[in-house]
Amino acid sequence: MVDITSQDMTVNRADAAGSRRFGGLSGVPSWIITTAAVVLVLLLWQYFGRNVNPVFGSYPTAIAEAAWDLTRSGELGSALLESIKPFLVGFVVSLVIGIPLGLLLGRFRIFEAAVGLFVTGGYAMPLVALVPLLVLWLGLGFAVKAAVIFLMCIFPIAINTWLGVKVVPKTLIEVGHAFVAPNSVILRRIVLPATLPYIMAGVKLSVGRSRRGGDGDRRILHRDFRPRRHHHQLRE
């Protein structure tokens, strides 16, 4: 009891010292500090961005004006819809396949020994390098974009789900066995709810990877195919 009290007093002293160090900011809500920091960065960007060559950079008001013009003309909406459709298809398919795959990898030792190495290798592989091969298989349309998003999303989701299953307390699984619950019920009602934080972490990582993968997809297609077609036309 004495140790706990002394630890609490130490923490309170540290909090008080931090409050004195930062003045009265300890009572200010976090969202106000975050908003003030964002506004400050935008103001600095606006001030210094006006002196930058437009070829190398811009500033917030110019970006807002361009966004408004593109929105009124309809170009922004059509381009946004064109990017969202393959993202949604690839992302949803990766969720449908990646979460059950991670659950199976974490729950069944034989399946983990047989498939786990390939999932880990797929996550480490530079998937953008597969874009030219996917173009040969799927063409240059909607399918290849959705396939790139799928490959970028499925491995973070599966691996995080896999790790989440591994850290589920064994006592919870033993309770399920004590009530003679089948493996499917244990997986659905015990393992899956306990793994949700890890699944959400994998979803967060996969969204960022898919965004980078989509940008890389467009750059590779533009660099590797359009200039060659143009060069071929010049030869003719």
pLDDT tens digits for the chain (236 residues)? 444 444 444 545 545 554 455 555 667 888 899 999 999 999 999 988 888 888 788 889 999 998 898 888 888 888 888 888 888 999 999 999 999 999 999 988 899 999 999 999 888 888 777 888 888 888 888 888 888 889 889 999 999 999 999 988 888 888 888 888 888 888 888 888 889 999 999 999 888 887 765 555 555 455 544 444 444 444 44
Structural domains counted in the chain: 2
Distance CA 225, CA 236 (A): 17
Using CA atoms, how far residue 53 sits from 44, 46, 57, 58, 73, in Å, is: 16, 13, 6, 8, 26
pTM: 0.68
In a shared domain, residues 80 and 18? no
Helix axis angle, 60-73 relative to 75-107, nearest 10°?
Answer: 100
In a shared domain, residues 142 and 189? yes
CATH number, domain containing residue 138: 1.10.3720.10
In a shared domain, residues 93 and 148? yes
